[in-house]
Amino acid sequence: MKQLPVIFKRELASYFSTPLAYVFILIFLVLSGVFTFYLGGFFESNQASLAPFFNFHPWLYLFLVPAIAMRLWAEERKSGSIELLMTLPVTRFEAVAGKFLAAWSFAGLALLLTFPMIITVNYLGEPDNGAIITGYLGSWLLAGAYLAVGSCMSALAKNQVIAFILAVAACFLFIVSGFPMLLDAFSGWAPQWLIDAVASLSFLIRFEAISKGVIDLRDLLYFLSFIVAWLAATALVVDLKKAD
Amino acid sequence: MIEITNLSKRFAQQLAVDNLSFSVAPGEVLGFLGPNGAGKSTTMKMLSGFLAPTSGTASIHGFDIQKQRLKAQQLIGYLPEGAPCYGDMRVQGFLEFIAEIRGFRGAEKRSRVAKASAQLELDKVLGQSIETLSKGFKRRVGLAQAILHDPRVLILDEPTDGLDPNQKHQVRQLIQGLAKDKIVIISTHILEEVSALCTRAVIIAGGRLLADGTPLELESRSRYHQAVTLLADAAVDSSALAALPGVAGVERNERDGSLTVLASAGQVIFPQVNQLIHQRGWAVREIEVERGRLDEVFRSLTRGEAA
A172-214 pLDDT, tens digit each: 988 888 777 777 777 778 788 888 887 778 888 888 888 888 8
**Quick check: B267 and B246 in contact, CB under 8 A?**
yes
**Quick check: B191 and B298 in contact, CB under 8 A?**
yes
What's the pLDDT score for residue B41?
Answer: 92
Q: Is the CB of A3 less than 8 angstroms away from the CB of B86?
A: no
Does one domain contain both B212 and B65? yes
Instruction: Give every residue of chain B whose pLDDT is below 50, as ranges.
Output: 305-307
Q: Collapsing DSSP states into helix, strand and coil, what is residue B180?
A: coil
pLDDT exceeds cutoff 80 at A91: yes
Which of B171, B189, B219 delimits the end of a domain?
Answer: B219
- For B13-16, which contacts have Cβ atoms below 8 Å and span 24 or more sequence positions? B15/B207, B16/B42, B16/B207
> CA B47, CA B158: separation in Å to the nearest integer?
15
Chain A interface includes B132 (CB < 8 A) = no
Q: What range defines the domain where residue B158 resides?
A: 2-219
Give the confidence band of A2 by pLDDT, cuts at 50, 70, 90. confident
Q: Collapsing DSSP states into helix, strand and coil, what is residue A241?
A: helix
Give A-chain residues touching B129 at CB under 8 angstroms. Answer: 17
Does one domain contain both B12 and B128? yes
Chain A interface includes B80 (CB < 8 A) = yes
Give A-chain residues touching B152 at CB under 8 angstroms. Answer: none
Closest CA to A222 of A240, A244, A204, A242: A204
When divided into structural domains, chain B yields a total of: 2
CA atoms within 13 A on the CB side of A170: 21
Q: Is the CB of A10 less than 8 angstroms away from the CB of B84?
A: no
Does one domain contain both B206 and B234? no
Is B280 part of a structural domain of the chain?
Answer: yes
Does one domain contain both B58 and B168? yes
Does one domain contain both B131 and B150? yes
> CA B193, CA B172: separation in Å to the nearest integer?
8
> CA B182, CA B187: separation in Å to the nearest integer?
16
Chain B interface includes A87 (CB < 8 A) = yes
Closest CA to A125 of A70, A47, A57: A47
> CA A73, CA A80: separation in Å to the nearest integer?
10
ipTM for the predicted complex: 0.89
Does one domain contain both B266 and B134? no
B93-145 pLDDT per residue, tens: 999 999 999 999 999 999 999 999 999 989 999 999 999 998 889 999 999 99
Higher pLDDT, B251 or A105: A105
Q: Collapsing DSSP states into helix, strand and coil, what is residue A97?
A: helix
**Taking phi first (over 0 means left), then psi (-120 to 50 degrees means alpha), and beta for anything else, what does residue B198 get?**
beta
Is B297 part of a structural domain of the chain?
Answer: no
Alpha-carbon gap: B143 to the closest alpha carbon of chain A (Å): 12
Residue B90's contacts (CB-CB under 8 Å, 6 or more residues apart) are B126, B127, B128, B129, B130
A108-158 pLDDT per residue, tens: 999 999 999 899 889 988 888 888 999 999 999 999 999 999 999 999 998
Alpha-carbon gap: B193 to the closest alpha carbon of chain A (Å): 25
Is B298 part of a structural domain of the chain?
Answer: no
Buried b (16+ CB within 10 A) or exposed e, A107-140: bbebbeebeebbebbeeeeebeeebbebbbebbb
DSSP B64-132: ETTTTHHHHHHHEEEE-TT----TTSBHHHHHHHHHHHTT--HHHHHHHHHHHHHHTT-GGGTTSBGGG
Does one domain contain both B75 and B190? yes
Which of B219, B250, B271 delimits the end of a domain?
Answer: B219
Does one domain contain both B211 and B234? no
Give A-chain residues touching B103 at CB under 8 angstroms. Answer: 2
Does one domain contain both B197 and B269? no
Alpha-carbon gap: B178 to the closest alpha carbon of chain A (Å): 20
Does one domain contain both B269 and B185? no
CATH number of the domain to which B239 belongs: 3.30.70.100
A57-75 pLDDT per residue, tens: 999 999 999 999 999 999 9
Rg (CA), chain A: 19
Alpha-carbon gap: B127 to the closest alpha carbon of chain A (Å): 13
CATH number of the domain to which B215 belongs: 3.40.50.300
Of A17, A81, A91, the CB nearest to B70: A91
A24-67 pLDDT per residue, tens: 999 999 999 888 888 877 777 777 788 888 888 999 999 999 99
Maximum distance among all Cα pairs of chain A, rounded to whole angstroms:
58
CA angle B191, B194, B196 (to 5 degrees): 110
pLDDT exceeds cutoff 60 at A20: yes
Which of B219, B253, B273 delimits the end of a domain?
Answer: B219
What's the pLDDT score for residue A151?
Answer: 96
Strands B2-11 and B55-60: antiparallel
% of chain A residues with pLDDT over 70? 100
Give B-chain residues touching A83 at CB under 8 angstroms. Answer: 45, 50, 80, 84
What's the pLDDT score for residue B302?
Answer: 82
What is the sign of the dihedral through the CA atoms of B97, B99, B105 and B106? negative
Does one domain contain both B196 and B232? no
**Quick check: A140 and A61 in contact, CB under 8 A?**
no
Does one domain contain both B123 and B236? no
CA angle B42, B44, B50 (to 5 degrees): 80
Alpha-carbon gap: A235 to the closest alpha carbon of chain B (Å): 14
Q: Is the CB of A80 less than 8 angstroms away from the CB of B80?
A: yes
**Quick check: B145 and B110 in contact, CB under 8 A?**
no
A7-18 pLDDT per residue, tens: 999 999 999 988
Q: Specify which residues B24 forms β-bridges with.
A: B2
